[in-house]
Amino acid sequence: MAVSFNYSNSLSFMNKSELDHVSEFVNVAHNRLHEKRGPGSDFLGWLDWPIRYNRDECMRVKKAAEKIRNQSDALIVIGTGGSYLGARAAIEALSHSFYNQMENTTKVYFAGQNISSTYITHLLELLDGKDISINVISKSGTTMEPAIAFRIFRDYLEKNYGKEEARKRIYATTDQEKGALKKLADEEGYESFVIPDDIGGRYSVLTAVGLLPMATAGLDIDQMMTGAEQAYYKYNNPDLSTNECYQYAAVRNILHQKGRDIELLVNYEPSLQYVAEWWKQLFGESEGKDQKGLFPASVNFPTDLHSMGQYVQEGRRHLIETVLQVTKPAIDFTIKADPDNIDGLNFLAGQTMDEVNKKAFQGAMMAHVDGGIPNLLIELEELNEYHFGELVYFFEKACAISGCLLGVNPFDQPGVEAYKKNMFALLGKPGFEKEKLNLGGFSIVG
Ligand SMILES: O=P(O)(O)OC[C@H]1O[C@](O)(CO)[C@@H](O)[C@@H]1O
């Protein structure tokens, strides 16, 4: 099976009867989703997206990617949160580990996910003398971090190419009708792609938001959509005893109710690090509200076994460990015998590097379960576009069901506005004068 879920190593931390109990609620959550009822039902466009996405737009995405690849040394993808993480996750997971350092590739760099003057200056230095295009992505069209980066890069393009040519090198992915970016794109005549109204940022990776940067990096986006389509059918069944996506949602909720407050997503392939970052936004923004929710965190093993391993083994018992495991690595090789064996590693001779990696996983998993940490396992047969699409859909649907089980609206993110208000007040944005007065009680350094 391409993506599979196994919770057998959490059964000593819960009773099977608890799953039977929750299956009724899973059924309710399933019906709510599929009948488009319940909180956040305006944002369910992702649910059947893999079977109804706009093929013409997808074709346009591929053509634009081709043009970018022919015309530019690098694409600068400007966006943050859901307008950034999915594309980065896919490109890092599915491309060469040193993609941007390889010859003959169209480099993909990200900007607008921070407000660091050092980062953006270094990026501009790196791009000096190179031909570039820009894909600016923002659903609202008003998020400040990417808006600042876009202002800087637009200016850079106009200075380097002149206004006319700059326009042809800017691709905007935004709302169909509203927002400052949409307005600018229309005025300037940028080629534009749509983020559907009913798909929230963190659910948008399989729209043009993710697909244009991915296609530019040479990924097969048709395969990705086919994988997501298969997942749509596979996880369409309300029966908890067979639907592994729903089992993941249910088990993490049961464990959460029993005092597990943090879910650690673990990988043994460094290229999955940004899948974890994408997953953190998906679950964190969806579930962390009304003073509820599992805190999504991530570690990269075995690297972090040498830093966080101690805590996982013996620290506070509030963790769930969810391992995202790749069954068959893209590349494997056999460790050779060394006639001198000074490092004492000849016992590994004849084994493959991946066999050793898998033993590290098994050893850590057994130790952590023995140490009191329930283990969930999500296995991915291979890291390719098809399975990536399937995995995205698995997580999206599990997150929606999980949020319903938790009793929150999994599709809004009201809490993100609080820091924005303070920041705008501190920056003196017109309209935020009252908020500025309310900041009086804090001592502000810096
Ligand atoms: O695509 P936008 O509207 O720029 O938003 C980027 C991100 O910012 C948030 O709105 C939070 O502020 C996320 O939900 C979203 O993914």
Torsion sign across C-alpha atoms 3, 84, 41, 228: negative
**Atom from ligand 1 closest to the CA of residue 146:** 4
Cβ-based neighbour number of residue 39 at 10 Å: 15
> What's the CA dihedral at 93, 98, 102, 105 to 10 degrees?
30
Q: Tell whether the model's pLDDT for residue 199 goes beyond 70.
A: yes
Residue 370 within any structural domain of the chain: yes
What is the residue-averaged pLDDT of the chain? 96
Instruction: Answer for the pair 223, 386: CB distance below 8 angstroms, yes or no.
Output: yes
Q: What confidence score (pLDDT) does residue 177 get?
A: 93
Q: Tell whether the model's pLDDT for residue 166 goes beyond 80.
A: yes
Would you call 285 a catalytic residue per the annotation?
Answer: yes
Q: For 347-377, give one letter per residue: b (16+ CB within 10 A) or e.
A: ebeeeeebeebbeebeebbeebbeeebbbbb
Tokens 């810096």: give the residue.
446
Same domain (yes/no): 234, 282: yes
Same domain (yes/no): 203, 65: yes
What's the CA angle centered on 144, arms 141 and 148, to 5 degrees?
A: 100
Please tell me the distance from the alpha carbon of residue 141 to that of residue 153, in angstroms, as a whole number: 16
Please tell me the distance from the alpha carbon of residue 26 to that of residue 419, in angstroms, as a whole number: 34
**Atom from ligand 1 closest to the CA of residue 204:** 16
Same domain (yes/no): 351, 399: yes
**Atom from ligand 1 closest to the CA of residue 202:** 16
In the structure encoding, which two tokens stand for residue 175, read together?
């709302």
With the most atoms of ligand 1 within 8 angstroms of its CB, the residue from 139, 175, 287 to mutate is 139
Question: In angstroms, what is the span from residue 328 Cα to ligand 1's centroid?
Answer: 34
pLDDT tier for residue 1 given thresholds of 50, 70 and 90:
low
Residue 238 within any structural domain of the chain: yes
Same domain (yes/no): 261, 173: no
Instruction: Answer for the pair 209, 188: CB distance below 8 angstroms, yes or no.
Output: no
Lowest mean pLDDT among 144-158, 177-191, 424-438: 424-438
CA distances from 353 to 74, 123, 266, 303 (A): 33, 35, 19, 15
- pTM of structure: 0.97
With the most atoms of ligand 1 within 8 angstroms of its CB, the residue from 115, 416, 420 to mutate is 416
pLDDT, mean of residues 141-160: 96
Question: In angstroms, what is the span from residue 143 Cα to ligand 1's centroid?
Answer: 7
Lowest mean pLDDT among 215-224, 379-388, 424-433: 424-433
Q: What is the pLDDT of residues 23-44, one digit of tens each?
A: 999 999 999 999 999 899 999 9
pLDDT tier for residue 444 given thresholds of 50, 70 and 90:
low
Residue 411 within any structural domain of the chain: no
Catalytic residue selected from 92, 263, 285, 396: 285
Determine which residue's CA is closest to atom 11 belonging to ligand 1. Answer: 416
**Atom from ligand 1 closest to the CA of residue 285:** 14
With the most atoms of ligand 1 within 8 angstroms of its CB, the residue from 77, 80, 114 to mutate is 80
**Atom from ligand 1 closest to the CA of residue 80:** 6
From 194, 220, 246, the end of a domain falls on 220
From 220, 246, 281, the end of a domain falls on 220
Q: What is the pLDDT of residues 246-288, one digit of tens each?
A: 999 999 999 999 999 999 999 999 999 999 999 999 999 999 9
Same domain (yes/no): 149, 240: no
Question: In angstroms, what is the span from residue 14 Cα to ligand 1's centroid?
Answer: 36
Same domain (yes/no): 247, 193: no
Domain count, the chain: 3
Please tell me the distance from the alpha carbon of residue 96 to that of residue 93, in angstroms, as a whole number: 8
CA nearest to 357, candidates 313, 305, 311, 296: 305
Torsion sign across C-alpha atoms 4, 52, 400, 421: positive
Same domain (yes/no): 215, 92: yes
Please tell me the distance from the alpha carbon of residue 369 to that of residue 365, in angstroms, as a whole number: 6
CA nearest to 231, candidates 33, 82, 49, 8: 49
Q: What is the pLDDT of residues 115-142, one digit of tens each?
A: 999 999 999 999 999 999 999 999 998 9
Question: In angstroms, what is the span from residue 226 Cα to ligand 1's centroid?
Answer: 27
Q: What confidence score (pLDDT) does residue 84 get?
A: 98
Q: What confidence score (pLDDT) does residue 49 get?
A: 98
CA nearest to 55, candidates 210, 189, 207, 228: 207
Determine which residue's CA is closest to atom 14 belonging to ligand 1. Answer: 201
Instruction: Answer for the pair 228, 393: CB distance below 8 angstroms, yes or no.
Output: yes
Instruction: Answer for the pair 403, 287: CB distance below 8 angstroms, yes or no.
Output: yes
Please tell me the distance from the alpha carbon of residue 21 to that of residue 23, in angstroms, as a whole number: 6
CA nearest to 405, candidates 292, 263, 276: 292
116 DSSP β-pair partners: none
Same domain (yes/no): 132, 195: yes
Q: Tell whether the model's pLDDT for residue 431 goes beyond 70.
A: yes
Residue 43 within any structural domain of the chain: no
Helix (H, G, I), strand (E, B) or coil at 409: coil
Question: In angstroms, what is the span from residue 201 Cα to ligand 1's centroid?
Answer: 6
DSSP 167-206: HHTEEEEE-SS-SHHHHHHHHHT-EEEE--TTS-GGG-TT
**Atom from ligand 1 closest to the CA of residue 417:** 12
Same domain (yes/no): 252, 344: yes
Q: Tell whether the model's pLDDT for residue 445 goes beyond 70.
A: no
Residues at CB less than 6 angstroms from ligand 1: 80-83, 138-140, 143, 146, 201-202, 285, 413, 416
Question: In angstroms, what is the span from residue 290 Cα to ligand 1's centroid?
Answer: 20
Residue 100 within any structural domain of the chain: yes
Same domain (yes/no): 320, 434: no
Instruction: Answer for the pair 260, 374: CB distance below 8 angstroms, yes or no.
Output: yes
Q: Tell whether the model's pLDDT for residue 348 goes beyond 70.
A: yes
Same domain (yes/no): 340, 397: yes
Q: What confidence score (pLDDT) does residue 435 get?
A: 84
Same domain (yes/no): 379, 435: no
Catalytic residue selected from 62, 178, 358, 420: 420
Q: What confidence score (pLDDT) does residue 433 get?
A: 87
CATH number, residue 324? 3.40.50.10490
Determine which residue's CA is closest to atom 9 belonging to ligand 1. Answer: 81
Question: In angstroms, what is the span from residue 418 Cα to ligand 1's centroid?
Answer: 13
Determine which residue's CA is closest to atom 8 belonging to ligand 1. Answer: 81
Q: What is the pLDDT of residues 383-427, one digit of tens each?
A: 999 999 999 999 999 999 999 999 999 999 999 999 999 999 999
pLDDT, mean of residues 62-84: 98
Q: Tell whether the model's pLDDT for residue 62 goes beyond 90.
A: yes
Residue 42 within any structural domain of the chain: no
DSSP 91-141: HHHHS-TTGGGSTTS-EEEEESS---HHHHHHHHHHHTT--EEEEEEESSS
Residues in the chain: 446
Instruction: Answer for the pair 253, 310: CB distance below 8 angstroms, yes or no.
Output: no
Would you call 269 a catalytic residue per the annotation?
Answer: no
Residues 6+ apart with CB under 8 A from 77: 84, 87, 88, 108, 109, 110, 111, 135, 137, 213
Determine the structural domain holding residue 431 and report its residue range: 417-445
170 CB-side CA count, 13 A:
30
pLDDT tier for residue 446 given thresholds of 50, 70 and 90:
low
